[in-house]
A and B are shown apart, each in its own frame.
Chain A
Protein backbone atom coordinates (compact mmCIF):
# COMPACT_ATOMS: atom_id res chain seq x y z
CA UNK A 1 0.00 0.00 0.00
CA UNK A 2 1.07 3.56 -0.66
CA UNK A 3 0.07 6.70 1.17
CA UNK A 4 -1.08 9.55 -1.02
CA UNK A 5 -1.72 13.15 -0.07
CA UNK A 6 -3.66 15.40 -2.38
CA UNK A 7 -6.19 18.19 -2.44
CA UNK A 8 -9.69 17.25 -3.54
CA UNK A 9 -12.19 20.05 -4.06
CA UNK A 10 -10.04 22.36 -1.97
CA UNK A 11 -9.64 20.02 0.98
CA UNK A 12 -6.49 18.13 1.90
CA UNK A 13 -7.03 14.39 1.93
CA UNK A 14 -4.79 11.43 2.38
CA UNK A 15 -5.42 7.79 1.69
CA UNK A 16 -3.91 4.35 1.61
CA UNK A 17 -4.10 2.87 -1.87
CA UNK A 18 -2.75 -0.08 -3.76
CA UNK A 19 -0.58 0.89 -6.74
CA UNK A 20 -3.25 -0.50 -9.04
CA UNK A 21 -6.04 1.66 -7.59
CA UNK A 22 -7.35 4.00 -10.25
CA UNK A 23 -7.94 7.64 -9.40
CA UNK A 24 -11.66 7.19 -10.08
CA UNK A 25 -11.80 4.22 -7.69
CA UNK A 26 -10.11 6.27 -4.99
CA UNK A 27 -12.56 9.14 -5.50
CA UNK A 28 -15.67 6.97 -5.57
CA UNK A 29 -14.89 4.17 -3.16
CA UNK A 30 -12.66 5.80 -0.56
CA UNK A 31 -13.81 9.41 -0.63
CA UNK A 32 -17.38 8.43 -1.58
CA UNK A 33 -17.45 11.15 -4.21
CA UNK A 34 -19.72 9.18 -6.50
CA UNK A 35 -20.53 12.04 -8.86
CA UNK A 36 -17.62 10.99 -11.06
CA UNK A 37 -18.87 8.09 -13.18
CA UNK A 38 -17.33 5.16 -15.03
CA UNK A 39 -19.10 4.52 -18.30
CA UNK A 40 -16.60 2.36 -20.19
CA UNK A 41 -13.34 0.52 -19.75
CA UNK A 42 -11.65 1.81 -22.89
CA UNK A 43 -10.93 5.43 -21.90
CA UNK A 44 -13.37 6.66 -24.52
CA UNK A 45 -16.58 7.78 -22.82
CA UNK A 46 -15.41 10.68 -20.66
CA UNK A 47 -17.92 10.17 -17.82
CA UNK A 48 -14.97 10.07 -15.41
CA UNK A 49 -13.36 13.38 -16.41
CA UNK A 50 -12.02 15.39 -13.46
CA UNK A 51 -9.55 18.26 -13.26
CA UNK A 52 -6.05 17.41 -12.09
CA UNK A 53 -3.94 20.51 -11.54
CA UNK A 54 -6.41 22.43 -13.68
CA UNK A 55 -6.38 20.06 -16.66
CA UNK A 56 -9.07 17.62 -17.72
CA UNK A 57 -8.06 14.01 -17.16
CA UNK A 58 -9.86 10.70 -17.51
CA UNK A 59 -9.72 9.50 -13.93
CA UNK A 60 -10.22 5.90 -15.08
CA UNK A 61 -6.90 6.17 -16.92
CA UNK A 62 -4.75 7.55 -14.13
CA UNK A 63 -3.50 5.68 -11.10
CA UNK A 64 -4.37 7.23 -7.74
CA UNK A 65 -0.66 7.19 -6.87
CA UNK A 66 0.00 9.36 -9.92
CA UNK A 67 -2.24 12.05 -8.39
CA UNK A 68 -0.15 12.18 -5.22
CA UNK A 69 0.51 15.85 -4.48
CA UNK A 70 -1.99 17.06 -7.08
CA UNK A 71 -4.99 19.34 -6.86
CA UNK A 72 -8.11 17.48 -7.99
CA UNK A 73 -11.53 18.97 -8.71
CA UNK A 74 -14.57 16.76 -9.19
CA UNK A 75 -18.17 17.61 -10.06
CA UNK A 76 -18.88 17.85 -6.31
CA UNK A 77 -16.42 20.72 -6.05
CA UNK A 78 -18.20 23.09 -8.41
CA UNK A 79 -21.35 24.29 -6.63
CA UNK A 80 -21.18 26.93 -3.92
CA UNK A 81 -23.51 25.42 -1.35
CA UNK A 82 -26.98 25.43 -2.89
CA UNK A 83 -25.86 27.70 -5.73
CA UNK A 84 -24.95 25.71 -8.80
CA UNK A 85 -21.87 26.60 -10.81
CA UNK A 86 -22.88 28.58 -13.93
CA UNK A 87 -21.97 25.59 -16.12
CA UNK A 88 -24.18 23.29 -14.03
CA UNK A 89 -26.98 25.84 -14.10
CA UNK A 90 -26.68 26.06 -17.87
CA UNK A 91 -27.11 22.28 -18.18
CA UNK A 92 -30.26 22.57 -16.05
CA UNK A 93 -31.66 25.55 -17.97
CA UNK A 94 -30.96 24.03 -21.40
CA UNK A 95 -32.08 20.51 -20.61
CA UNK A 96 -28.49 19.42 -21.27
CA UNK A 97 -29.11 15.97 -19.87
CA UNK A 98 -31.48 13.09 -20.30
CA UNK A 99 -30.45 10.10 -18.18
CA UNK A 100 -27.67 12.18 -16.63
CA UNK A 101 -25.00 9.50 -16.55
CA UNK A 102 -22.52 11.35 -18.79
CA UNK A 103 -23.32 14.76 -17.27
CA UNK A 104 -20.51 15.05 -14.69
CA UNK A 105 -17.93 14.42 -17.40
CA UNK A 106 -19.69 16.74 -19.83
CA UNK A 107 -19.70 19.56 -17.27
CA UNK A 108 -16.00 19.04 -16.42
CA UNK A 109 -15.03 18.90 -20.09
CA UNK A 110 -17.17 21.99 -20.68
CA UNK A 111 -15.11 23.85 -18.07
CA UNK A 112 -11.93 22.64 -19.73
CA UNK A 113 -13.16 24.00 -23.07
CA UNK A 114 -13.83 27.40 -21.46
CA UNK A 115 -10.34 27.35 -19.94
CA UNK A 116 -8.74 26.87 -23.32
CA UNK A 117 -11.11 28.64 -25.71
CA UNK A 118 -12.72 31.38 -23.63
CA UNK A 119 -16.32 32.40 -23.05
CA UNK A 120 -17.51 32.97 -26.58
CA UNK A 121 -17.75 29.48 -28.03
CA UNK A 122 -19.17 28.47 -31.40
CA UNK A 123 -20.97 25.16 -31.75
CA UNK A 124 -18.29 23.65 -34.01
CA UNK A 125 -15.59 24.24 -31.39
CA UNK A 126 -17.69 22.68 -28.64
CA UNK A 127 -18.49 19.64 -30.77
CA UNK A 128 -14.86 19.10 -31.74
CA UNK A 129 -13.63 19.54 -28.19
CA UNK A 130 -16.26 17.14 -26.83
CA UNK A 131 -15.01 14.24 -28.89
CA UNK A 132 -13.79 12.47 -25.77
CA UNK A 133 -17.23 12.52 -24.12
CA UNK A 134 -20.00 10.21 -25.18
CA UNK A 135 -23.73 10.65 -24.44
CA UNK A 136 -25.56 7.43 -25.16
CA UNK A 137 -28.91 9.21 -24.99
CA UNK A 138 -27.38 11.18 -27.92
CA UNK A 139 -28.59 14.45 -26.41
CA UNK A 140 -25.78 16.40 -27.96
CA UNK A 141 -27.83 19.32 -29.28
CA UNK A 142 -28.69 20.52 -25.81
CA UNK A 143 -25.31 19.61 -24.34
CA UNK A 144 -23.65 21.87 -26.89
CA UNK A 145 -26.22 24.57 -26.18
CA UNK A 146 -25.64 24.21 -22.44
CA UNK A 147 -21.86 24.48 -22.70
CA UNK A 148 -22.10 27.57 -24.90
CA UNK A 149 -24.55 29.18 -22.45
CA UNK A 150 -22.47 28.12 -19.45
CA UNK A 151 -19.34 29.54 -21.00
CA UNK A 152 -21.08 32.84 -21.62
CA UNK A 153 -22.51 32.95 -18.08
CA UNK A 154 -19.02 32.32 -16.65
CA UNK A 155 -17.82 35.45 -18.43
CA UNK A 156 -20.65 37.67 -17.22
Chain B
Protein backbone atom coordinates (compact mmCIF):
# COMPACT_ATOMS: atom_id res chain seq x y z
CA UNK B 1 0.00 0.00 0.00
CA UNK B 2 1.27 3.44 -0.85
CA UNK B 3 0.98 6.03 1.91
CA UNK B 4 0.72 9.03 -0.41
CA UNK B 5 -1.01 8.78 -3.74
CA UNK B 6 -0.77 11.07 -6.71
CA UNK B 7 -4.37 12.10 -6.07
CA UNK B 8 -3.38 13.23 -2.59
CA UNK B 9 -0.56 15.34 -3.91
CA UNK B 10 -2.81 16.83 -6.57
CA UNK B 11 -5.29 17.77 -3.88
CA UNK B 12 -2.73 19.95 -2.17
CA UNK B 13 -1.25 21.34 -5.35
CA UNK B 14 -1.96 24.98 -4.49
CA UNK B 15 -0.50 24.49 -1.01
CA UNK B 16 2.60 22.84 -2.48
CA UNK B 17 3.02 25.64 -4.98
CA UNK B 18 2.83 28.29 -2.28
CA UNK B 19 5.11 26.39 0.09
CA UNK B 20 7.71 25.74 -2.61
CA UNK B 21 7.44 29.34 -3.68
CA UNK B 22 8.14 30.49 -0.14
CA UNK B 23 11.24 28.28 0.11
CA UNK B 24 12.41 29.39 -3.32
CA UNK B 25 12.20 33.04 -2.32
CA UNK B 26 14.55 32.30 0.56
CA UNK B 27 16.95 30.54 -1.78
CA UNK B 28 16.74 33.18 -4.48
CA UNK B 29 17.21 36.07 -2.07
CA UNK B 30 21.01 35.85 -1.77
CA UNK B 31 21.28 35.16 -5.51
CA UNK B 32 19.46 38.38 -6.42
CA UNK B 33 21.26 41.65 -6.88
CA UNK B 34 20.44 44.30 -4.31
CA UNK B 35 18.63 46.58 -6.75
CA UNK B 36 16.57 43.71 -8.13
CA UNK B 37 14.92 42.58 -4.89
CA UNK B 38 11.58 43.76 -6.23
CA UNK B 39 11.69 40.79 -8.58
CA UNK B 40 11.19 38.53 -5.59
CA UNK B 41 7.93 40.30 -4.85
CA UNK B 42 6.87 39.78 -8.44
CA UNK B 43 7.96 36.19 -8.24
CA UNK B 44 5.84 35.71 -5.12
CA UNK B 45 2.90 37.30 -6.89
CA UNK B 46 3.40 34.92 -9.80
CA UNK B 47 3.38 31.98 -7.39
CA UNK B 48 0.16 33.26 -5.87
CA UNK B 49 -1.28 33.73 -9.33
CA UNK B 50 -0.52 30.12 -10.19
CA UNK B 51 -1.99 28.91 -6.91
CA UNK B 52 -5.07 31.04 -7.49
CA UNK B 53 -5.61 29.59 -10.94
CA UNK B 54 -5.30 26.04 -9.63
CA UNK B 55 -7.54 26.83 -6.68
CA UNK B 56 -10.10 28.45 -8.93
CA UNK B 57 -10.08 25.45 -11.21
CA UNK B 58 -10.61 23.22 -8.18
CA UNK B 59 -13.53 25.28 -6.99
CA UNK B 60 -15.08 25.06 -10.43
CA UNK B 61 -14.39 21.35 -10.69
CA UNK B 62 -15.87 20.66 -7.29
CA UNK B 63 -19.49 20.26 -8.11
CA UNK B 64 -21.10 18.49 -5.26
CA UNK B 65 -19.30 16.04 -3.09
CA UNK B 66 -16.06 16.89 -1.27
CA UNK B 67 -13.04 14.75 -2.10
CA UNK B 68 -11.15 13.44 0.93
CA UNK B 69 -7.37 13.07 0.67
CA UNK B 70 -4.60 11.64 2.83
CA UNK B 71 -6.89 8.93 4.21
CA UNK B 72 -9.41 11.43 5.59
CA UNK B 73 -6.95 13.87 7.16
CA UNK B 74 -7.53 16.42 4.46
CA UNK B 75 -10.36 17.36 2.19
CA UNK B 76 -10.71 19.11 -1.08
CA UNK B 77 -14.07 20.86 -0.95
CA UNK B 78 -15.73 24.04 -2.16
CA UNK B 79 -15.67 25.44 1.37
CA UNK B 80 -11.90 25.19 1.61
CA UNK B 81 -11.48 26.41 -1.95
CA UNK B 82 -13.53 29.53 -1.24
CA UNK B 83 -11.34 30.45 1.72
CA UNK B 84 -8.15 29.59 -0.15
CA UNK B 85 -9.02 31.89 -3.02
CA UNK B 86 -9.81 34.67 -0.60
CA UNK B 87 -6.57 34.11 1.33
CA UNK B 88 -4.47 33.99 -1.82
CA UNK B 89 -6.03 37.23 -3.02
CA UNK B 90 -5.41 38.91 0.32
CA UNK B 91 -1.81 37.69 0.42
CA UNK B 92 -1.23 39.09 -3.06
CA UNK B 93 -2.58 42.46 -2.01
CA UNK B 94 -0.49 42.47 1.14
CA UNK B 95 2.66 41.68 -0.86
CA UNK B 96 1.90 44.60 -3.15
CA UNK B 97 1.26 46.82 -0.19
CA UNK B 98 4.38 45.64 1.63
CA UNK B 99 6.57 46.21 -1.41
CA UNK B 100 6.01 49.94 -1.04
CA UNK B 101 5.61 50.02 2.71
CA UNK B 102 8.74 48.08 3.66
CA UNK B 103 10.85 50.55 1.71
CA UNK B 104 9.30 53.44 3.60
CA UNK B 105 10.00 51.72 6.89
CA UNK B 106 13.52 50.73 5.76
CA UNK B 107 12.94 47.06 6.42
CA UNK B 108 12.96 46.07 2.80
CA UNK B 109 13.95 42.41 3.21
CA UNK B 110 12.68 39.80 0.75
CA UNK B 111 12.26 37.22 3.54
CA UNK B 112 9.06 39.07 4.16
CA UNK B 113 7.54 37.61 1.01
CA UNK B 114 8.75 34.16 1.98
CA UNK B 115 7.06 34.51 5.36
CA UNK B 116 3.84 35.65 3.71
CA UNK B 117 3.89 32.61 1.46
CA UNK B 118 4.74 30.21 4.29
CA UNK B 119 2.10 31.71 6.50
CA UNK B 120 -0.37 31.47 3.65
CA UNK B 121 0.43 27.80 3.13
CA UNK B 122 -0.30 27.26 6.82
CA UNK B 123 -3.65 28.99 6.45
CA UNK B 124 -4.48 26.89 3.41
CA UNK B 125 -3.76 23.75 5.40
CA UNK B 126 -5.95 25.08 8.21
CA UNK B 127 -8.98 25.65 6.05
CA UNK B 128 -8.79 22.23 4.40
CA UNK B 129 -7.66 20.02 7.24
CA UNK B 130 -10.23 17.56 8.53
CA UNK B 131 -8.07 16.32 11.34
CA UNK B 132 -7.45 18.42 14.42
CA UNK B 133 -3.72 17.76 14.30
CA UNK B 134 -3.51 18.79 10.66
CA UNK B 135 -5.45 21.95 11.44
CA UNK B 136 -3.15 22.56 14.36
CA UNK B 137 -0.14 22.09 12.10
CA UNK B 138 -1.47 24.67 9.68
CA UNK B 139 -2.29 27.03 12.50
CA UNK B 140 1.24 26.82 13.89
CA UNK B 141 2.82 27.33 10.48
CA UNK B 142 0.69 30.41 10.03
CA UNK B 143 1.39 31.72 13.52
CA UNK B 144 5.13 31.15 13.55
CA UNK B 145 5.52 33.15 10.37
CA UNK B 146 3.33 35.89 11.81
CA UNK B 147 5.39 36.06 15.02
CA UNK B 148 8.47 36.78 12.95
CA UNK B 149 6.71 39.29 10.77
CA UNK B 150 5.31 41.14 13.80
CA UNK B 151 8.89 41.85 14.87
CA UNK B 152 10.06 42.73 11.40
CA UNK B 153 10.76 46.34 12.29
CA UNK B 154 13.61 45.05 14.37
CA UNK B 155 15.07 48.45 15.24
CA UNK B 156 11.76 49.57 16.79
CA UNK B 157 11.18 48.45 20.38
CA UNK B 158 7.39 48.58 19.84
CA UNK B 159 7.66 46.06 17.06
CA UNK B 160 9.85 43.71 19.08
CA UNK B 161 7.55 44.02 22.05
CA UNK B 162 4.60 43.18 19.83
CA UNK B 163 6.39 40.14 18.47
CA UNK B 164 7.36 38.92 21.93
CA UNK B 165 3.88 39.36 23.32
CA UNK B 166 2.29 37.78 20.31
CA UNK B 167 4.66 34.85 20.49
CA UNK B 168 4.25 34.20 24.19
CA UNK B 169 0.49 34.45 24.18
CA UNK B 170 0.19 32.72 20.85
CA UNK B 171 2.16 29.73 22.09
CA UNK B 172 0.12 29.65 25.24
CA UNK B 173 -3.13 29.61 23.30
CA UNK B 174 -1.73 26.92 21.02
CA UNK B 175 -0.96 24.89 24.11
CA UNK B 176 -4.52 25.27 25.30
CA UNK B 177 -5.80 24.25 21.89
CA UNK B 178 -3.56 21.17 21.96
CA UNK B 179 -4.79 20.31 25.40
CA UNK B 180 -8.34 20.47 24.13
CA UNK B 181 -7.41 18.27 21.19
CA UNK B 182 -5.81 15.71 23.47
CA UNK B 183 -8.87 15.61 25.73
CA UNK B 184 -11.08 15.14 22.71
CA UNK B 185 -8.82 12.33 21.55
CA UNK B 186 -8.97 10.78 24.97
CA UNK B 187 -12.73 10.87 25.05
CA UNK B 188 -13.55 9.93 21.47
CA UNK B 189 -10.48 8.00 20.41
CA UNK B 190 -9.97 10.07 17.28
CA UNK B 191 -8.50 13.31 16.06
CA UNK B 192 -10.32 13.41 12.73
CA UNK B 193 -13.41 15.59 12.63
CA UNK B 194 -15.58 12.72 11.43
CA UNK B 195 -14.17 10.38 14.07
CA UNK B 196 -14.81 12.89 16.82
CA UNK B 197 -18.34 13.42 15.59
CA UNK B 198 -19.01 9.69 15.71
CA UNK B 199 -17.31 9.41 19.07
CA UNK B 200 -19.44 12.17 20.56
CA UNK B 201 -22.58 10.45 19.33
CA UNK B 202 -21.71 7.52 21.57
CA UNK B 203 -21.10 9.61 24.68
CA UNK B 204 -23.74 10.49 27.25
CA UNK B 205 -24.98 14.08 26.97
CA UNK B 206 -23.21 16.55 29.21
CA UNK B 207 -19.99 14.56 29.40
CA UNK B 208 -17.75 16.83 31.55
CA UNK B 209 -14.45 16.02 29.82
CA UNK B 210 -16.03 16.63 26.44
CA UNK B 211 -17.39 19.98 27.56
CA UNK B 212 -14.01 20.90 28.96
CA UNK B 213 -12.34 20.00 25.66
CA UNK B 214 -14.92 22.11 23.83
CA UNK B 215 -14.20 25.02 26.15
CA UNK B 216 -10.48 24.73 25.52
CA UNK B 217 -11.07 24.79 21.77
CA UNK B 218 -13.18 27.92 22.17
CA UNK B 219 -10.27 29.55 23.99
CA UNK B 220 -7.76 28.48 21.35
CA UNK B 221 -9.79 29.65 18.37
CA UNK B 222 -11.16 32.64 20.26
CA UNK B 223 -7.60 33.84 20.70
CA UNK B 224 -6.87 33.55 17.00
CA UNK B 225 -9.98 35.43 15.90
CA UNK B 226 -9.51 38.01 18.69
CA UNK B 227 -12.78 37.40 20.52
CA UNK B 228 -13.36 38.82 23.99
CA UNK B 229 -12.00 37.90 26.54
CA UNK B 230 -9.09 36.47 24.55
CA UNK B 231 -8.58 39.70 22.61
CA UNK B 232 -6.10 41.51 24.83
CA UNK B 233 -3.09 40.93 22.61
CA UNK B 234 -4.77 42.53 19.61
CA UNK B 235 -4.35 46.28 20.22
CA UNK B 236 -0.70 46.06 21.29
CA UNK B 237 0.28 43.66 18.55
CA UNK B 238 -1.64 45.51 15.85
CA UNK B 239 -0.14 48.81 16.94
CA UNK B 240 3.43 47.57 17.27
CA UNK B 241 3.68 45.46 14.13
CA UNK B 242 4.55 47.04 10.79
CA UNK B 243 1.25 48.15 9.30
CA UNK B 244 1.35 45.83 6.32
CA UNK B 245 1.76 42.92 8.76
CA UNK B 246 -1.10 44.25 10.86
CA UNK B 247 -3.25 44.28 7.77
CA UNK B 248 -2.29 40.69 7.07
CA UNK B 249 -3.05 39.60 10.62
CA UNK B 250 -6.32 41.48 10.79
CA UNK B 251 -7.57 40.11 7.52
CA UNK B 252 -5.96 36.83 6.49
CA UNK B 253 -5.19 35.23 9.83
CA UNK B 254 -8.64 36.14 11.12
CA UNK B 255 -10.33 34.71 8.04
CA UNK B 256 -8.36 31.45 8.16
CA UNK B 257 -9.03 31.06 11.88
CA UNK B 258 -12.74 31.62 11.35
CA UNK B 259 -12.72 29.07 8.56
CA UNK B 260 -11.19 26.43 10.84
CA UNK B 261 -13.34 27.51 13.79
CA UNK B 262 -16.46 26.98 11.73
CA UNK B 263 -15.36 23.67 10.30
CA UNK B 264 -14.31 22.19 13.63
CA UNK B 265 -17.37 23.33 15.52
CA UNK B 266 -19.93 22.49 12.89
CA UNK B 267 -18.41 19.22 11.68
CA UNK B 268 -16.82 17.72 14.76
CA UNK B 269 -18.80 19.31 17.57
CA UNK B 270 -22.13 19.68 15.81
CA UNK B 271 -23.55 17.08 18.19
CA UNK B 272 -23.13 19.33 21.21
CA UNK B 273 -24.24 22.48 19.40
CA UNK B 274 -26.52 23.55 22.22
CA UNK B 275 -23.73 23.64 24.77
CA UNK B 276 -21.21 25.64 22.74
CA UNK B 277 -23.87 27.91 21.39
CA UNK B 278 -24.59 29.36 24.84
CA UNK B 279 -20.91 29.91 25.49
CA UNK B 280 -20.34 31.52 22.10
CA UNK B 281 -23.38 33.78 22.37
CA UNK B 282 -21.84 35.23 25.52
CA UNK B 283 -18.46 35.58 23.82
CA UNK B 284 -20.09 37.12 20.77
CA UNK B 285 -21.99 39.75 22.75
CA UNK B 286 -18.97 40.60 24.89
CA UNK B 287 -16.88 40.94 21.73
CA UNK B 288 -19.29 43.30 20.01
CA UNK B 289 -19.80 45.41 23.11
CA UNK B 290 -16.17 45.72 24.14
CA UNK B 291 -14.80 46.16 20.63
CA UNK B 292 -17.15 48.98 19.78
CA UNK B 293 -17.09 50.75 23.12
CA UNK B 294 -13.32 50.77 23.51
CA UNK B 295 -12.78 51.82 19.90
CA UNK B 296 -14.56 55.07 20.72
CA UNK B 297 -11.79 56.31 23.00
CA UNK B 298 -8.80 55.36 20.85
CA UNK B 299 -6.53 58.05 19.46
CA UNK B 300 -4.25 55.82 17.42
CA UNK B 301 -5.77 54.63 14.18
CA UNK B 302 -4.12 51.21 14.36
CA UNK B 303 -5.48 50.62 17.85
CA UNK B 304 -8.85 51.89 16.72
CA UNK B 305 -8.80 49.47 13.82
CA UNK B 306 -7.68 46.74 16.23
CA UNK B 307 -10.77 47.25 18.38
CA UNK B 308 -12.80 47.57 15.22
CA UNK B 309 -11.47 44.19 14.12
CA UNK B 310 -12.46 42.77 17.50
CA UNK B 311 -15.96 44.14 17.01
CA UNK B 312 -16.10 42.65 13.52
CA UNK B 313 -15.08 39.29 14.93
CA UNK B 314 -18.11 39.67 17.18
CA UNK B 315 -20.43 40.23 14.21
CA UNK B 316 -18.90 37.29 12.36
CA UNK B 317 -19.38 35.07 15.41
CA UNK B 318 -23.12 35.60 15.01
CA UNK B 319 -22.92 33.51 11.88
CA UNK B 320 -21.24 30.74 13.85
CA UNK B 321 -23.72 30.69 16.70
CA UNK B 322 -26.58 30.69 14.24
CA UNK B 323 -24.99 27.45 13.01
CA UNK B 324 -27.11 26.88 9.94
CA UNK B 325 -26.60 27.21 6.19
CA UNK B 326 -27.46 30.92 6.18
CA UNK B 327 -25.10 31.49 9.10
CA UNK B 328 -22.15 29.79 7.44
CA UNK B 329 -22.69 31.60 4.17
CA UNK B 330 -22.99 34.92 5.95
CA UNK B 331 -19.69 34.41 7.81
CA UNK B 332 -17.98 33.67 4.51
CA UNK B 333 -19.54 36.70 2.92
CA UNK B 334 -18.73 38.83 5.93
CA UNK B 335 -15.04 38.00 6.07
CA UNK B 336 -14.61 38.32 2.31
CA UNK B 337 -16.09 41.81 2.37
CA UNK B 338 -14.32 42.68 5.59
CA UNK B 339 -11.03 41.76 3.87
CA UNK B 340 -11.47 44.46 1.25
CA UNK B 341 -12.51 47.26 3.53
CA UNK B 342 -10.03 46.55 6.28
CA UNK B 343 -7.12 46.03 3.92
CA UNK B 344 -8.03 49.31 2.27
CA UNK B 345 -8.10 51.18 5.57
CA UNK B 346 -4.71 49.81 6.61
CA UNK B 347 -3.34 50.58 3.15
CA UNK B 348 -4.21 54.24 3.61
CA UNK B 349 -2.43 54.17 6.98
CA UNK B 350 0.74 52.78 5.37
CA UNK B 351 0.79 55.68 2.94
CA UNK B 352 0.51 58.39 5.54
CA UNK B 353 3.82 59.82 6.74
CA UNK B 354 4.29 62.26 9.56
CA UNK B 355 7.81 63.59 9.23
CA UNK B 356 9.90 60.46 8.83
CA UNK B 357 7.42 58.30 10.72
CA UNK B 358 4.25 56.55 9.94
CA UNK B 359 1.19 58.72 10.48
CA UNK B 360 -0.74 56.31 12.64
CA UNK B 361 -2.52 58.76 14.92
CA UNK B 362 -6.09 59.74 14.11
CA UNK B 363 -4.90 63.34 14.40
CA UNK B 364 -2.64 62.75 11.43
CA UNK B 365 -5.73 62.47 9.25
CA UNK B 366 -6.67 66.05 10.12
CA UNK B 367 -7.46 67.96 6.96
CA UNK B 368 -6.40 65.08 4.73
CA UNK B 369 -9.14 66.04 2.27
CA UNK B 370 -7.22 69.22 1.61
CA UNK B 371 -3.86 67.51 1.32
CA UNK B 372 -4.88 64.60 -0.84
CA UNK B 373 -8.47 64.36 -2.05
CA UNK B 374 -8.20 60.82 -3.35
CA UNK B 375 -6.67 59.36 -0.20
CA UNK B 376 -9.37 61.04 1.87
CA UNK B 377 -12.09 59.84 -0.47
CA UNK B 378 -11.08 56.18 -0.35
CA UNK B 379 -10.59 56.34 3.42
CA UNK B 380 -14.11 57.78 3.68
CA UNK B 381 -15.34 54.88 1.60
CA UNK B 382 -13.64 52.31 3.85
CA UNK B 383 -14.87 53.98 7.03
CA UNK B 384 -18.45 54.03 5.77
CA UNK B 385 -18.14 50.44 4.69
CA UNK B 386 -16.78 49.40 8.08
CA UNK B 387 -19.69 51.24 9.67
CA UNK B 388 -22.04 49.30 7.39
CA UNK B 389 -23.62 52.15 5.51
CA UNK B 390 -25.21 51.40 2.12
CA UNK B 391 -24.46 51.19 -0.71
CA UNK B 392 -21.02 49.99 0.38
CA UNK B 393 -20.23 46.29 0.71
CA UNK B 394 -20.07 46.60 4.49
CA UNK B 395 -23.82 47.08 4.52
CA UNK B 396 -24.41 43.87 2.56
CA UNK B 397 -22.14 41.97 4.94
CA UNK B 398 -23.93 43.18 8.05
CA UNK B 399 -27.33 42.88 6.45
CA UNK B 400 -26.82 39.20 5.72
CA UNK B 401 -25.33 38.29 9.04
CA UNK B 402 -27.99 40.09 11.07
CA UNK B 403 -30.65 38.65 8.84
CA UNK B 404 -29.28 35.17 9.51
CA UNK B 405 -29.67 35.81 13.24
CA UNK B 406 -33.28 36.93 12.89
CA UNK B 407 -33.95 34.01 10.56
CA UNK B 408 -32.71 31.62 13.25
CA UNK B 409 -34.97 33.23 15.86
CA UNK B 410 -32.10 34.92 17.63
CA UNK B 411 -33.65 38.36 17.44
CA UNK B 412 -32.17 39.43 20.77
CA UNK B 413 -28.68 38.89 19.44
CA UNK B 414 -29.57 40.82 16.29
CA UNK B 415 -30.86 43.72 18.37
CA UNK B 416 -27.60 43.97 20.30
CA UNK B 417 -25.59 43.68 17.09
CA UNK B 418 -27.60 46.34 15.30
CA UNK B 419 -27.41 48.75 18.23
CA UNK B 420 -23.66 48.39 18.59
CA UNK B 421 -23.17 48.62 14.85
CA UNK B 422 -25.04 51.92 15.10
CA UNK B 423 -22.74 53.10 17.87
CA UNK B 424 -19.71 52.12 15.81
CA UNK B 425 -20.61 54.86 13.33
CA UNK B 426 -19.31 57.29 15.92
CA UNK B 427 -15.67 56.28 15.80
CA UNK B 428 -15.51 55.56 12.09
CA UNK B 429 -17.11 58.89 11.46
CA UNK B 430 -14.54 60.65 13.61
CA UNK B 431 -11.89 59.80 11.03
CA UNK B 432 -14.12 61.19 8.29
CA UNK B 433 -14.80 64.25 10.40
CA UNK B 434 -11.15 65.12 10.97
CA UNK B 435 -10.35 64.49 7.31
CA UNK B 436 -13.15 66.60 5.88
CA UNK B 437 -14.18 69.08 8.52
CA UNK B 438 -10.86 70.30 9.80
CA UNK B 439 -7.98 72.23 8.31
CA UNK B 440 -4.58 70.57 8.38
CA UNK B 441 -2.26 72.11 10.97
CA UNK B 442 0.24 74.62 9.66
CA UNK B 443 2.54 74.90 12.64
CA UNK B 444 4.49 72.25 14.50
CA UNK B 445 2.49 70.54 17.20
CA UNK B 446 -0.93 71.05 15.63
CA UNK B 447 -2.82 68.02 14.35
CA UNK B 448 -2.11 67.19 10.76
CA UNK B 449 1.12 69.19 10.64
CA UNK B 450 3.84 67.86 8.34
CA UNK B 451 1.74 64.95 7.15
CA UNK B 452 2.01 63.83 3.56
CA UNK B 453 0.73 60.95 1.52
CA UNK B 454 3.35 58.81 -0.16
CA UNK B 455 1.63 57.06 -3.02
CA UNK B 456 3.49 54.34 -4.88
CA UNK B 457 1.96 52.57 -7.89
CA UNK B 458 1.73 49.30 -5.92
CA UNK B 459 -0.09 50.92 -3.01
CA UNK B 460 -2.42 52.72 -5.40
CA UNK B 461 -3.17 49.39 -7.03
CA UNK B 462 -4.07 47.91 -3.65
CA UNK B 463 -6.30 50.87 -2.82
CA UNK B 464 -7.95 50.63 -6.19
CA UNK B 465 -8.71 46.94 -5.78
CA UNK B 466 -9.99 47.47 -2.24
CA UNK B 467 -12.10 50.51 -3.13
CA UNK B 468 -13.56 48.89 -6.20
CA UNK B 469 -14.18 45.75 -4.17
CA UNK B 470 -16.09 47.70 -1.55
CA UNK B 471 -18.13 49.52 -4.18
CA UNK B 472 -18.73 46.68 -6.62
CA UNK B 473 -19.58 44.16 -3.93
CA UNK B 474 -21.91 46.76 -2.47
CA UNK B 475 -23.79 47.34 -5.68
CA UNK B 476 -23.31 43.96 -7.29
CA UNK B 477 -22.84 41.43 -4.48
CA UNK B 478 -24.65 38.63 -6.20
CA UNK B 479 -21.67 36.58 -7.48
CA UNK B 480 -20.03 36.60 -4.07
CA UNK B 481 -23.26 35.66 -2.33
CA UNK B 482 -23.77 32.84 -4.81
CA UNK B 483 -20.20 31.65 -4.34
CA UNK B 484 -20.54 31.66 -0.56
CA UNK B 485 -23.87 29.89 -0.64
CA UNK B 486 -22.61 27.20 -2.98
CA UNK B 487 -19.51 26.66 -0.86
CA UNK B 488 -21.09 26.26 2.57
CA UNK B 489 -20.18 23.30 4.72
CA UNK B 490 -22.38 20.28 4.34
CA UNK B 491 -24.11 20.41 7.73
CA UNK B 492 -24.69 17.24 9.59
**A pairs with B:** no
**Residues of B participating in the A interface, judged by any CB pair closer than 8 Å:** none
